């Protein structure tokens, strides 16, 4: 089997991919541009991709492909319909960073409710040092708050959303769900409509896949339904949120804060609107690292190779 890994650098250098237990050739590239994709997949039986797009044009030009391993949970980088028509197996890796992403979402919630960015900046500017009392307060920022008793609205009902809900319960929060896929309940908790979730929630955290139905799911109209005191957290996929509408809401004090681990364009350009807003103390951005603990990435690598070995052996793969 001729295996080609198109973007190995998207998985941390400390992570080791196990050697597949079958006869194979392995070629890997740190990154692959769209122009390089077809050339590098010539003669390949297996393609491994994290973010490199494998669309119909690539599939048309690479007839030897039998298996595409997506080194992530979301499979929006692959033309699944064309793969299904041609009998090409596509496998993702699921549940490898569930706890990591849930923890990261809560880190963003806590940082925003405790005004960590604003107070850290004030400290760096010497404002506490120049004050005349032991406790320094910022008058131009929302007050420091608590998570206890707040309503957490989860967009999505999968493993990550449920792991986030479990942490929320430990903080004595109330949890509600909206299911983009149409699920009616999670355990004994009934799902609500998106509009109801947006209107009720004190914190909204997004944990759903990017699909044609969730593209810009949160736009100007939806942001107008959110309480001005609420927070928006996105650790799912950037295009689910209309960034320009979000920036306008923050600028006009229609939203108390936003914590983003994902953006519509990754990496963003320095001149982009979102990068120009980095000095806003009510906006926290992390560089798509919610999933990226060493343990999670090693788990991903192990699962990916296990599924590939099962495919070659003609066996169904389990996570």
Question: Known catalytic residues?
Answer: 237, 266, 288
Residues 39, 43, 48, 54, CA torsion sign:
positive
Alpha carbons 229 and 203: distance in angstroms, whole number:
9
Helical segments of 15-90, H only: 34-40, 56-61, 80-86
> Given CA atoms 73, 75, 80, 83 in this order, what sign does their dihedral have?
negative
How far apart CA 228 and CA 238 sit, in angstroms, is: 22
Pairing of strands 185-186, 189-190: antiparallel
Cβ proximity of 60 and 79 under 8 Å: no
What would the two tokens of residue 8 be? 């190995």
Token representation of residue 32: 């692959």
Q: In the β-sheet with 25-28, what is the strand arrangement from edge to edge?
A: 25-28, 2-5, 46-49, 67-70, 89-91
Q: Which helix (H) or strand (E) holds 108?
A: helix 98-113
Place of tokens 């209309």: 242
Annotate 225-265 with DSSP letters as a single string.
Answer: TS-TT-EEEE-S-GGGB-HHHHHHHHHTTSSSEEEES--SS
- Residue 158 CA to residue 307 CA, distance in Å, equals 21
Residue 263 sits at the vertex; the CA angle it makes with 14 and 273, to the nearest 5 degrees, is 130
Cβ atoms < 10 Å from Cβ of 183: 13
């Amino acid at each position: 089997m001729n295996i080609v890994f198109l973007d190995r650098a998207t998985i941390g250098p400390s992570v080791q991919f196990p050697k597949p237990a079958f006869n194979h050739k392995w070629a890997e590239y740190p990154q692959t541009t769209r122009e390089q994709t077809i050339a590098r997949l010539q003669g390949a039986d297996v393609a491994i991709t994290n973010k490199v797009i494998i669309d119909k044009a690539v599939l048309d030009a690479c007839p030897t492909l039998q298996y595409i391993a997506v080194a992530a949970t979301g499979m929006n980088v692959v033309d699944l319909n064309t793969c299904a028509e041609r009998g090409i197996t596509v496998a993702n890796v699921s549940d490898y960073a569930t706890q990591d992403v849930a923890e990261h979402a809560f880190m963003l919630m806590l940082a925003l409710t405790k005004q960590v960015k604003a107070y850290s900046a004030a400290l760096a500017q010497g404002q506490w040092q120049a004050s005349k009392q032991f406790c320094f307060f910022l008058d131009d920022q929302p007050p420091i708050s608590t998570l206890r008793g707040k309503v957490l609205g989860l967009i999505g009902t999968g493993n990550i959303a449920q792991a986030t809900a479990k942490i929320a319960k430990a903080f004595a929060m109330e949890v509600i769900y909206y299911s983009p896929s149409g699920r009616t309940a999670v355990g004994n908790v009934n799902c609500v409509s998106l509009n109801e979730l947006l209107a009720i929630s004190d914190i909204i955290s997004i944990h759903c896949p990017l699909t044609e139905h969730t593209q810009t799911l949160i736009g100007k109209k939806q942001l107008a339904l959110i309480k001005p005191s609420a927070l928006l957290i996105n650790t799912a996929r950037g295009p689910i949120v209309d960034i320009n509408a979000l920036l306008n809401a923050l600028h006009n004090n229609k939203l108390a804060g936003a914590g983003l681990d994902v953006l519509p364009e990754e990496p963003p350009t320095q001149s982009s609107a979102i990068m120009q807003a980095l000095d806003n103390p009510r906006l926290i951005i992390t560089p798509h690292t919610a999933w990226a603990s060493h343990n999670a990435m090693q788990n991903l690598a192990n699962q990916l190779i296990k599924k590939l070995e099962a495919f070659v052996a003609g066996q169904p793969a389990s996570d």
